Structure 1
C-alpha cells in the first residue's frame, strides 16, 4: 500500500488547483477522480456558457484564453485538460473512492481499484452527481432525465422542462430552437432571479410571445408514458408529452461525508463543519475545498471564489509539517 503526504478526492477545477499547489510545495500527492478530468464539467450541456468570465475560472494564475469573455464548456475542458497534461499532474481517473478511515494519524483510503494511505486528505467532490428528485409517480420512466446534454435529441418532440434555474432555461431555449415543442413547469411565480442576465430577457420574451409555454406556480403530480399531470392554480392539467427534463438541481453526497465522519449542521442546509481559516474539517488532517463547503447552499461556492482554498489548505499542511520539503 503506497503512502502519500496528501490524497485529493475529486479531479475538478478545485481538486486540480489543490494538486498544483501541493506539487509546488514538494508534497507527495495523488488526485483520485471517479470519472474523466473535470468530470462534472464534462457532463454539462454541450453548449453551456459560464456565468463567469474566463479570468475568474483560472487556477494557479495560468491564463485562460477564450473566444468570448464568458467561455463555453468545450473551452473549459480544453483549459483544465491542458493544465493536467502539461503539468504532469498525478491523477488517477475512473477510480471511485469508497471509504476513508483514520487510524491514529493516518488515513486509509479504499477505492474501486486499490488501497492507499495518506497523512492528509482533501475532499473536493462538488455536488453534480446526485439530482434532487421530485418524488412523483413515474419519475423512474425512461422518458425522464435529470441531466441535459444536447438539444438535437429533442427535435420534433413534446418536451417538458421542470424548473426555472439557469440549466432549465438554457435547455428550454436550446431545445425550442432545435424544433422541440417546449413546456416549462415552474414552482415559483416567475423565472429564477439567478438566471444569467443576458439569457433572462430571451426566455421571458419567448414565453410572452407563446413560443415556449409555461405553467407558473405549478408542480408535477404524476408522469405517465405519454402524458404528464400537473397541479396548477387553475386545477389539474394533463399534457401530452414525449420527454421530461427534471432540472431541479443537485446535492452533494452527504452520505459519503457522514460515513467518513464529517459533521453536518442539524438544519436543512447540512453545512459541513470546517475551520474557514484553514478549511480543515472536524477531523484533523481532513480538509474540504470547493462547492462541497456550502452544503445545500450550492450557489455560495464556485470556481472563482473557492480556488483560494487550494493555497489555504496547502499552507496549513506545510506550516504544521515543517519536515515536508
Structure 2
C-alpha cells in the first residue's frame, strides 16, 4: 500500500509539532512520522532536567506554556507538547522510523519500517539526540557504560566516572554526588563548559574546589575495564577504580539519512546542510529542514526557542507552491 500526502514531516519533537500544526491550519494533507515517543528527545532527558529557556520561549504558536517555576522542567515540557499535539488533533504516527527518502520526479518516496508513502514535500525535523558521539576506546561496549543519564539513584554508593563538561555531565555529576555516589569527572578541556547553566556552574566549581567531586582536566579515557578505567592525564596515566561510566560526550544528527536523500553539506567537518535561510528548502527541491538539524554537528546553534520560526517559513513557502 502506498499512502499519498502533500507533506511528510519526519520527527515529532517541538519543531515537528509546530510544522504539523501549521500544515493543519493551512489545510495541507500531512503526516508526522516519529521513530520513538512524542518529543522523544525530551523524553530521554534526565528526569530532573531544567530548561535553560523560560516557558514562553518554548511555546508553539503562542499557546501558553504554564510552568510552576521561572524555567520549566522536563515533565512540564512533556505535558505541554503532548497537550498541544492532542488538543489540535495532529496526525502523528509514533514508533515508526523513516528508513529512506528518495525523490522520483516531482514526488518523494518515503519508506518506513511500517509503510510506504508518496509525498509532494518532505520536512526533516529529526533533531540530534538519537546518536551518541562515541569515545572510541576499548571497553566502551561494556554494560557499565552509558551515553545517556536518567537519574542518580542507580549510582548511589558506586564509583562513577562522568565524561564531559557540558550541562548533562555537570547535572549528572552533581545529582549522583548528592545521592551518595563517588564521582570523578574526566574532561578533555581545561575548564567546565562555557554553556553550563549559570545557576549550576558555581555549584559544580565549588564541589570540585572542596574535593567532593574529583576532576581530571585535559584528560581522556584510554580504556574501560570491568572494575576500572585508565585515564591519560597531564600528570601521567591513572587507573581509577570504577563501577559505571557515563560518557556524556554529546550527540549528533542522523547525517546518513540526509546524505542518502541527496542533501549536500559544508566541507569543514561540521556537516552543516545546504539550505535556504528564507524558505528552509535544501539543495533538493521540495525537501526542507527544521530545528536543530539545520546546524549539522554544531548542535548548540539551533534549539527550540530560535528555531520555532522555521515552521512558519516552510509553511508560508508551501502555501505558495502547493
Counterpart mapping for 1:75-224 below 5 A? 75-224=76-225
Task: Tell me the SS of whatever aligns to 1:20.
Answer: helix
1:11-41 deviation per Cα after TM superposition (whole angstroms, max 9, x unaligned): 0000000000011111111000011100010
1:46-96 deviation per Cα after TM superposition (whole angstroms, max 9, x unaligned): 000000000000011100000101100000000000111111000000000
1:256-305 deviation per Cα after TM superposition (whole angstroms, max 9, x unaligned): 11011111111211110000110000011100000000011110000000
Q: Does 1:245 align with 2:246?
A: yes
Query: How far apart are the structure 1 equivalents of 2:298 and 2:179?
Result: 33
1:152-171 deviation per Cα after TM superposition (whole angstroms, max 9, x unaligned): 11001000000000000000
Query: How far apart are the structure 1 equivalents of 2:244 and 2:134?
Result: 16
Query: How far apart are the structure 1 equivalents of 2:291 and 2:221?
Result: 33
Task: Tell me the SS of whatever aligns to 1:128.
Answer: coil
Task: Tell me the SS of whatever aligns to 1:67.
Answer: coil
Query: How far apart are the structure 1 equivalents of 2:193 and 2:266?
Result: 27
- Where do 4+ consecutive residues of structure 1 move more than 4 Å? none
Q: Does 1:11 align with 2:20?
A: no
Query: How far apart are the structure 2 equivalents of 1:238 and 1:17?
Result: 49
Unpaired runs of 5+ residues, structure 2, are none
Query: How far apart are the structure 2 equivalents of 1:320 and 1:255?
Result: 28
- State the Cα distance separating 1:150 from its structure 2 match: 1.1
Query: How far apart are the structure 1 equivalents of 2:215 and 2:104?
Result: 55
Aligned to 2:45: 44
Task: Tell me the SS of whatever aligns to 2:245.
Answer: strand
- State the Cα distance separating 1:136 from its structure 2 match: 0.7
Q: How many residues align?
A: 321
Query: How far apart are the structure 2 equivalents of 1:299 and 1:161?
Result: 21
- State the Cα distance separating 1:319 from its structure 2 match: 1.1
**TM-score when normalising by structure 2:** 0.99
Task: Tell me the SS of whatever aligns to 2:103.
Answer: strand
Query: How far apart are the structure 1 equivalents of 2:197 and 2:113?
Result: 38
- State the Cα distance separating 1:315 from its structure 2 match: 0.4
Query: How far apart are the structure 2 equivalents of 1:296 and 1:167?
Result: 17
Query: How far apart are the structure 1 equivalents of 2:131 and 2:295?
Result: 15
Query: How far apart are the structure 2 equivalents of 1:34 and 1:67?
Result: 31
